[in-house]
Structure 1
């Protein structure tokens, strides 16, 4: 029997694109549909510039946090108003680009959209249609190496989301309040922290450059905790997309008067 492998190409020399008989195309199609739907929704909401704040209960959607445009409702501008109010500039234009870059350069999302949109490769053991691949060594993919820096900024923005969630427990008119919106905001922040802390850059930063964990027991415990989160990074990545959309839609619905907030206290 002759060899089916050509060392010069490094790939099996078979006529078929793949020998897989399962529905290998289903995950990339589902990923493409899910990511496209989320991007369309988020883009529309970011430029809608309305129904982002509930003044009665202090609910601020994370899509507009921090709200730093002069067009923002003053009560929603927890960190001042420094951007001009123009239709093509989102109210949270300071944070949104960095959050987008953090997710675009995320190790899991790279796998998801490389396979879903670029077919590079579409699935394991399935040949990609591209004749050559230069890796992440040229523009624009070389920008993927900036992921760790976007991680730092995303962590700061997540802290701002936490501040917004805590602030919403104290109604603008005074007094403590608790409603379904507060619970949704808090769950969203917990998931955002889980996604951010499970990042590969976070794991590397916590446990990297240590030759002997026994000499660094605190960092070892931190690294162990982050490692456990890291094994669920994919799940947290999708869970946060869902929680962000649900949180935003709920606040939009309450702000627009489509539904009323379910109040528990106050």
Structure 2
């Protein structure tokens, strides 16, 4: 059979090799539950993160130097005093521009092009396909060869930026060990912030691109023992990439929510030292 003129492959219920049945699927179980839950989970995070990125309130706790990751780095003169750990690189931002705009688009790109997230939203949001033995509703498939999906091919470069942002988050975590009266301080907020940074590092370096960078092009592992060891460690994390992808969505929301509650005075930060 010759390929269609537009080089697209017929798919879904119109696929040439699909059994000639009227039903979309013969499955009788609730196959639609996993894609539904995935859609709800992703939508919840996107809505929460979008609102928090634009509200510009309760993102900094001056007493303990807690900064939410959604606003790091805060490098505009629009940032509240003390929250600009790296100084002011820009002047006032208009109200419609998030204060974390310097890195948020790259982090969004890193997540959107992530191999796991592609699988997640392709199957749940795009329904391509929604489940095993369930035909997708689309009439053709062009792969990741055209806009907008061709952007998926730059995932490696988003990984580089995400690694730099993880360094910035680590710096924020170190700065957060600040006491209310100066010097070293340690509270519940530090545990949450550090825990989030650890999970973000685990998710970032478990990336498939990181695995390929460390040892994907080596032909003789025995000649590169250091890179082989790095590759094996990244591979162990890569096996849990899906789990880490979801955990980090939760830790990001938890960290931001905690900073917001402490900053707004809704709760007090339990202190262990200073």
TMscore range, shorter length: over 0.9
User: TM-score, normalised on structure 1?
Assistant: 0.94
Q: Which runs of 4+ in 1 moved over 6 A?
A: none
Match of 2:187 among 164, 173, 179: 179
Deviation sequence 1:142-164 (CA, Å, 0-9, x none): 00000000000000001100000
2:142 is the alignment partner of 1:134:
yes
Match of 2:129 among 117, 121, 139: 121
Kindly state the Cα deviation for residue 173 of structure 1 after the two structures are TM-superposed.
Answer: 5.0
Match of 1:63 among 60, 64, 70: 70
Any residues of structure 2 matched to 1:151-162 within 5 Å, and which?
151-162=159-170
Match of 1:235 among 239, 243, 253: 243
Kindly state the Cα deviation for residue 171 of structure 1 after the two structures are TM-superposed.
Answer: 3.7
Q: Give 5+ residue unaligned stretches, structure 2.
A: 1-14
Q: Aligned partners of 1:87 and 1:194: how far apart in 2?
A: 34
**What SS does the aligned partner of 1:76 have?**
coil
Find the counterpart in structure 1 of residue 88 from structure 2. Answer: 81
- Are 2:123 and 2:131, in contact at CA under 8 Å, matched by a contact in 1? yes
More off after superposition, 169-178 vs 25-34: 169-178
More off after superposition, 10-19 vs 107-116: 10-19
Deviation sequence 1:91-136 (CA, Å, 0-9, x none): 1110100000000000100111111111111112210000101000
Match of 2:24 among 17, 24, 34: 17
Find the counterpart in structure 1 of residue 157 from structure 2. Answer: 149
More off after superposition, 13-22 vs 33-42: 13-22
Kindly state the Cα deviation for residue 17 of structure 1 after the two structures are TM-superposed.
Answer: 1.6
**What SS does the aligned partner of 2:82 have?**
helix
Q: 1:172 to 1:95 in 2, by over 3 A?
A: farther
Find the counterpart in structure 2 of residue 104 from structure 1. Answer: 112
Q: Aligned partners of 2:145 and 2:223: how far apart in 1?
A: 36
Kindly state the Cα deviation for residue 178 of structure 1 after the two structures are TM-superposed.
Answer: 0.4
Find the counterpart in structure 1 of residue 9 from structure 2. Answer: none
2:221 is the alignment partner of 1:216:
no
**What SS does the aligned partner of 1:112 have?**
helix
Find the counterpart in structure 2 of residue 4 from structure 1. Answer: none
Q: Give 5+ residue unaligned stretches, structure 1.
A: 1-7
Kindly state the Cα deviation for residue 82 of structure 1 after the two structures are TM-superposed.
Answer: 2.6
**What SS does the aligned partner of 2:272 have?**
strand
Deviation sequence 1:24-75 (CA, Å, 0-9, x none): 1111100110111111100000000010000000000000000112111231
2:50 is the alignment partner of 1:43:
yes
RMSD between aligned residues: 1.2
Q: Aligned partners of 2:120 and 2:111: how far apart in 1?
A: 11
Q: Aligned partners of 2:143 and 2:214: how far apart in 1?
A: 27
User: TM-score, normalised on structure 2?
Assistant: 0.92
2:271 is the alignment partner of 1:263:
yes
Kindly state the Cα deviation for residue 22 of structure 1 after the two structures are TM-superposed.
Answer: 2.3
